[in-house]
């Protein structure tokens, strides 16, 4: 009979643990069991920031909130009542600022390690930035079980599981931290700072708090429940827990409230605690968002060779989840995983459905500004501001149960502009992403404005290039295995551009040079882009994609470039002259409903898919968009390749031209200009940079020769020379009479002899 009672009690506990909480959805958004971001609090000291904060709400109504600091493995702050102050910019993402604690603080710690090393809590991090050394402590990820969050981390060689919770005794709310660990050495845990001094070391500490203002007298109680030989000690208001070596399962209970409730609280703390098995909660559990959202794709129409299919986002949805799409990739079965800036990942099915019926399944939530996603061996990796997260569906129910910290070596500061952007892998399995520089441009960390490489196993992060400002998109691949990344105008960024990244390169933004900028007398000695783009064509650049299929028209093995600001797509024509890569771009006559940022080709249908969002400076009208650029099989009339020589410009088109039309110099117009590289934000367009003459220099097309293939034309142009920007315009006819009206924007670093 006693055994039955124990089993019944455990089942009741499990039901309580997994019950979906009610309430706590500020601004109407249900963010899932946890939320991550840089979290600001003024307790127990002003400007208490958890750079990589993890907020878990506990209680039947999620009325108490616990913020962990994943860099320092400390409990940053605990508060009750209102959740977080997000502000309008947090929802619209224009200039998102760190959310701030909105309710009443109860407990907290000052910035520093949450676990001692050799008995000391001294913060030895360089500039007090980034995570603790791995040999000290390291965050490993979190498990979700129902609405419970179980943190996984290591302290030295010891693996730790920790779960926050809440118990209610009358009106009193007791915050709990349940632990499981097995340590070969004793450990010391920081419990809370800013408390009254005093108390005898032991399993329980109690304090009286002086009344403040009109508040009633308050008390504080702390207790260790379970475990073996664990004691609490108070050193001048800093409470720590001394944990002997060995296998331990225990919890620390924390209460602060009206003194009139202290007797009931003390009785509860003196009672034996029924501790859940945290290890058992790490095996996966039934999902929370079981109902997919069905949408209907709007298939593109028109008589051109390419049309844009609108793969309608899951809006509205039951959770009011925002769909600012920040990155995506394809799963092995052809479904797509799509990340959202506000923390979600969705799985979308039905991409090959001829009727355009789509099904969106919410797969993960709570992550810190995801702006890149890559699928490797069937697992989803997400570039977040705080880490690369590897998502695991442990029980196969279509929702992530383990949010593994694959690598969190990147340093985070509160500046909104230092987004981590995109995600790609090389043939060896290493990962690459860009990290933005701050705005205003006062770089304060070693990773701001850089291109970052993470080893295949996630154990090592290294900066491979510097001098970036807003690297909002990249790609890796093509015939030469190039790593490219875009950037857009700003300080020491005269215009938008496409960079070809080489290890050790410096790409122009002197504030984010990290010691690699040339001296002022050689200010222009930075790695030049392979192509500049004027503001009229691209005011904020996006990502790139290599055409890796024959199913998308004539551009196999060619590079594509997206403009986030203009919501457009470009074909990139690269060439190499004397070891120098340079390029020209021509726009596709296509428009997109949101800023285009990420592009990938589906291995199933060979078509180009794009995601994007509406945030900072874009013509996009929709919060986010998932689109497909579908090749219809109709003739393509576009420039295919570009070659510049000392005698002029050679352009090859995708199909035959009308010879008379193409040979008429009056159907061509060429002009060029330069930009001023300086500390100013952007640049004017200069026809004569030395004399600061604003405008474009128009060039004479002396003659036009059409090749025997009827696709290639050569424009004879006197006085060819290197230039930052050239524009070639044509208004021609194809051999079948179709109009060929195109513009090419190119950069010339070197001129070929012929």
Contacts of 685 (CB under 8 A, 6+ apart): 534, 673, 674, 675, 694, 695, 696, 725
Q: What's 268's DSSP letter?
A: H
Give the confidence band of 19 by pLDDT, cuts at 50, 70, 90: very low
pLDDT(62) > 90: yes
pLDDT by residue (tens digit) across 182-200?
A: 999 999 999 999 999 988 8
pLDDT at position 94 is 65
Contacts of 722 (CB under 8 A, 6+ apart): 748, 749, 750, 751
Instruction: Give the rounded percent of residues in the chain with a pLDDT score beyond 90.
Output: 90
pLDDT at position 77 is 98
Contacts of 42 (CB under 8 A, 6+ apart): 48, 101, 105
pLDDT at position 620 is 85
pLDDT(45) > 60: yes
- Are 530 and 556 within 8 A, CB to CB? no
Average pLDDT over residues 85-89: 74
Residue ranges with strand state E in 370-447: 372-376, 379-383, 388-392, 402-407, 420-425, 431-435
Q: What's 117's DSSP letter?
A: B
Q: Which residue has the tokens 């039901």?
A: 15
Give the confidence band of 88 by pLDDT, cuts at 50, 70, 90: low
pLDDT at position 87 is 72
Average pLDDT over residues 709-719: 97
C-alpha 540/C-alpha 595 separation (Å) is: 9
pLDDT(89) > 80: no
Give the CA angle between residues 491, 492, 497 to the nearest 5°: 105
CB atoms within 10 A of CB 43: 19
Nearest CA-CA partner of 510 in 527, 529, 485, 535? 527
Average pLDDT over residues 389-407: 98
Q: Phi, psi (5° rounding) for residue 39? A: -110, 130
C-alpha 96/C-alpha 18 separation (Å) is: 32
Confidence (pTM): 0.96
pLDDT at position 16 is 40
pLDDT(716) > 60: yes
Chain-wide mean pLDDT for the chain?
Answer: 94
Contacts of 280 (CB under 8 A, 6+ apart): none
Q: Which residue has the tokens 């009690």?
A: 9
pLDDT by residue (tens digit) across 603-661?
A: 999 999 999 999 877 888 899 999 999 999 999 999 999 999 999 999 999 999 999 99
- Are 284 and 397 within 8 A, CB to CB? yes
Q: What's 699's DSSP letter?
A: E
Cis peptide before 44 (omega within 30 of 0): yes
> What size, in residues, is the chain?
754
Average pLDDT over residues 30-38: 96
pLDDT by residue (tens digit) across 197-253?
A: 988 899 999 988 877 667 778 999 999 999 999 999 999 999 999 999 999 999 999
When computed from its CA atoms, the radius of gyration of the chain, rounded to whole angstroms, is 30
The Cα-based distances of 728 to 197, 306, 644, 744 in angstroms read: 76, 23, 12, 5
C-alpha 701/C-alpha 713 separation (Å) is: 12
Give the confidence band of 740 by pLDDT, cuts at 50, 70, 90: very high
Give the residue with greater pLDDT, 621 vs 406: 406
| H-helix or E-strand spanning residue 496 | strand 496-500
Nearest CA-CA partner of 743 in 734, 732, 753, 754? 732
pLDDT by residue (tens digit) across 256-278?
A: 999 999 999 999 999 888 899 99
The Cα-based distances of 220 to 204, 255, 259 in angstroms read: 11, 6, 8
């Amino acid at each position: 009979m006693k055994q039955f009672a124990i089993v019944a009690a455990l089942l009741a506990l499990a039901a309580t643990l997994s019950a979906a909480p009610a309430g706590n959805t500020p601004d109407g958004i249900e963010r899932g069991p946890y939320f991550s971001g840089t979290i600001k609090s003024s307790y127990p000291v002003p400007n208490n920031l958890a750079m990589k904060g993890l907020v878990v709400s506990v209680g039947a109504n999620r009325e108490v909130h616990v913020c962990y600091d994943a860099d320092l493995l400390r409990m940053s702050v605990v508060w009750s009542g209102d959740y977080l102050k997000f502000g309008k910019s947090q929802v619209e993402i224009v200039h998102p600022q760190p959310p701030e604690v909105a309710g009443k603080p109860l407990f907290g710690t000052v910035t520093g390690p949450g676990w001692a090393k050799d008995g000391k809590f001294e913060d030895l991090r360089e500039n007090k930035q980034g995570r603790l050394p791995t040999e000290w402590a390291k965050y490993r990820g979190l498990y979700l079980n129902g609405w419970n969050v179980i943190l996984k981390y290591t302290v030295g060689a010891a693996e730790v599981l920790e779960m926050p919770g809440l118990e209610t005794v009358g009106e009193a709310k007791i915050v709990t931290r349940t632990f499981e660990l097995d340590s070969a050495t004793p450990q010391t845990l920081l419990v809370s700072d800013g408390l009254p001094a005093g108390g005898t070391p032991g399993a329980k500490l109690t304090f009286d708090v002086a009344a403040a203002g009109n508040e009633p007298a308050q008390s504080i109680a702390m207790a260790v429940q379970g475990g073996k030989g664990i004691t609490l000690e108070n050193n001048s208001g800093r409470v720590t827990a001394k944990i002997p070596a060995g296998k331990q399962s225990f919890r620390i209970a924390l209460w602060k409230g009206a003194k009139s409730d202290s007797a009931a609280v003390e009785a509860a703390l003196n009672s034996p605690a029924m501790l859940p098995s945290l290890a058992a909660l790490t095996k996966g559990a039934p999902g929370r968002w079981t109902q997919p959202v069905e949408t209907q794709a709007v298939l593109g129409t028109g008589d051109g060779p390419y049309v844009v299919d609108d793969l309608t986002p899951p809006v509205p949805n039951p959770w009011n989840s925002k769909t600012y799409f920040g990155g995506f990739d394809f799963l092995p079965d052809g479904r797509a995983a799509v990340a959202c800036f506000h923390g979600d990942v969705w799985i979308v099915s039905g991409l090959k459905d001829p009727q355009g019926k789509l099904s969106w399944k919410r797969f993960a939530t709570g992550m810190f500004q995801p702006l890149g996603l890559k699928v490797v061996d069937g697992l989803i990796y997400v570039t977040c501001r705080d880490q690369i997260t590897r998502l695991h569906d442990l029980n196969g129910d279509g929702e992530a149960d383990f949010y593994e910290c694959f690598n969190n070596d990147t340093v985070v500061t509160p500046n909104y502009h230092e987004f981590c952007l995109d995600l790609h892998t090389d043939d060896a399995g290493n990962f690459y992403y860009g990290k933005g520089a701050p705005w205003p441009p006062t770089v304060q960390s070693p990773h701001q404005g850089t291109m970052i490489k993470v080893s295949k196993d996630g154990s090592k992060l290294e900066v491979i290039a510097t001098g970036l400002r807003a690297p909002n998109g990249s790609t890796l691949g093509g015939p030469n295995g190039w790593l490219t990344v875009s950037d857009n105008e700003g300080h020491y960024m005269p215009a938008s551009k496409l960079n070809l990244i080489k290890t050790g390169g410096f790409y122009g933004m002197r504030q984010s040079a990290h010691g690699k900028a040339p001296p002022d007398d050689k200010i222009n000695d930075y790695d030049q882009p392979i192509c500049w783009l004027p503001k009229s064509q691209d005011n904020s650049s996006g990502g790139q994609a290599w055409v890796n299929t024959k199913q998308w028209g004539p551009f196999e093995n060619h590079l594509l470039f997206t403009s986030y600001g203009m919501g457009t797509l470009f074909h990139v024509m690269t060439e190499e002259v004397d070891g120098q890569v340079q390029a020209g771009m021509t726009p596709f006559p296509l428009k997109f409903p949101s800023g285009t940022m990420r592009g990938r080709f589906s291995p199933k249908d060979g078509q180009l898919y794009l995601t994007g969002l509406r945030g900072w400076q874009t013509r996009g009208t929709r919060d986010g968009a998932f689109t497909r650029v579908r090749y219809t099989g109709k003739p393509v009339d576009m420039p295919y390749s570009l070659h510049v020589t000392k005698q002029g410009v050679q352009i090859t088109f995708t199909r035959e031209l009308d010879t008379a039309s193409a040979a008429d110099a009056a159907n061509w117009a060429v002009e060029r200009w330069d930009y001023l590289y300086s500390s100013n934000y952007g640049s004017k367009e200069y026809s004569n940079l030395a004399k600061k003459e604003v405008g474009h220099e128009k060039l004479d097309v002396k003659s036009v020769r059409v090749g025997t293939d009827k696709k290639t034309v050569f424009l004879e142009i006197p006085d060819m020379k290197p230039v930052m920007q050239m524009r070639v315009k044509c208004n021609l006819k194809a051999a079948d009479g179709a109009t060929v009206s195109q513009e090419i924007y190119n950069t010339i670093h070197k001129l070929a002899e012929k």
